Amino acid sequence: MTALLTRSDAPTIRTVVDTDGGWRRAVEELEASTLAHSPEWFTAIKAGYGHEPLYLSGEDGDGRPGLLPAFVVRRPLFGTVVSSMPFLDSGGPCSASPALAHALVAHLVGEARRLGARAVELRCTERLGLDRAPLENKVTLALPLPADPDELWRRVGGTIRNQIRKAERSNLTVDFGHAEYLAPFYDVFAVRMRELGSPVHARGFLGAVLAAFGSRARIALVRQGCTPVGGLVALACKDSLVIPWAACLKEYFALCPNMLVYWETLRAACREGFRRFDFGRSSRNSGTYHFKRQWGAHEEPTFWYTLPLTARPRRGRPRGGRTAGLLAKAWRGLPLGLTRCLGPSIRKYLTQ
């Protein structure tokens, strides 16, 4: 690693080629670090999709650390984007001082320009001192956890408790596992993503995530008898348990499998000493937003910046409006086998 700034009072920025040592220690030390800063993504995203990591670390003049993970996503037709972090809810600089955060972002932008990228994406949990306004319509929903799951049971209220009991009366059960549950979970996940009109992640990518996180990853699988009807992937980060992916089959919604799988995961998190449950991001007032809020989860803001690096007109995946709706409708009309085949080759380039 070579220092790029040499004044004793200036931040020192380095390119990281191995996240096993100092990076992991800095994640633990920095209070503002999130799941997106965990060192496992360096391996998981590279192995799962082949994107090139561009990880920066630094120190300020007082020796305090800072981190900025990112990946170079080379998109056919639409050009290269440098994203911090692709497929995740957060990312961006995490540091002990605003000056170091600024230096990390400036260096990432310089590297992105050198690579010919069209834009830099930063998904932050704090507002940055940039001259471009962020998108703020998405929020993270998080729930503080008590040590005693019985206390959480009392907190969630009668409506949720009744739905959980309904799921149990309907012969639904939840089991926890690891890679051995990936295939049945993925079958459900692929069906649900098609119903939502969205390309599904590659099964190999999810497998790479499980392999990289090891014992810090789990799959909760909900079944009716022997039939898988839903599940979720949970990843541990410091004192938080985070849910990046979850799905249940629509035809079983009336039996409340989603309520049961989340309850059993929450109960296990309490028992294991986690103090925060991260439901993941949602757009305000969406269906998933209200689902998470009913558990008592509170909003944590996100600030998503896109920094254009070229003057060319922006071309890319529509993010809203009539065109996006038409594309989603068309995707829902495709055969499931075709969406399972084509979805991952598209999804790997959709950084959101």
Residues 7-62 pLDDT 10s: 456 789 999 988 878 999 999 999 999 999 999 999 999 999 999 999 999 998 88
Output 313 or 273, whichever has higher pLDDT: 273
Q: Domains of the chain by range and CATH?
A: 12-136+303-347 (3.40.630.30), 146-270 (3.40.630.30)
Residue ranges of E strands in 195-349: 217-224, 227-237, 240-248, 276-283, 298-301, 303-308
Quick one: how many helices (H) and strands (E) in the chain? 11, 16
Kindly report the backbone phi and psi dihedral angles of residue 152, in degrees, each rounded to the nearest multiple of 5, phi listed first: -65, -40
**What is the CA 225 to chain-centroid distance, rounded?**
31
Of 82, 116, 21, residue with least CA distance to 307: 82
User: Considering the entire predicted model, what is its pTM?
Assistant: 0.92
Is the pLDDT at 218 greater than 70? The verdict is yes
pLDDT at 82 over 80: yes
Report the DSSP beta bridge partners of residue 300. Answer: 140
Return the beta strands (E) in the chain as ranges: 12-16, 52-53, 55-59, 65-68, 71-75, 79-84, 94-95, 119-124, 138-144, 172-177, 217-224, 227-237, 240-248, 276-283, 298-301, 303-308
When mean pLDDT is compared across 123-132, 221-230, 238-247, the lowest value belongs to: 123-132
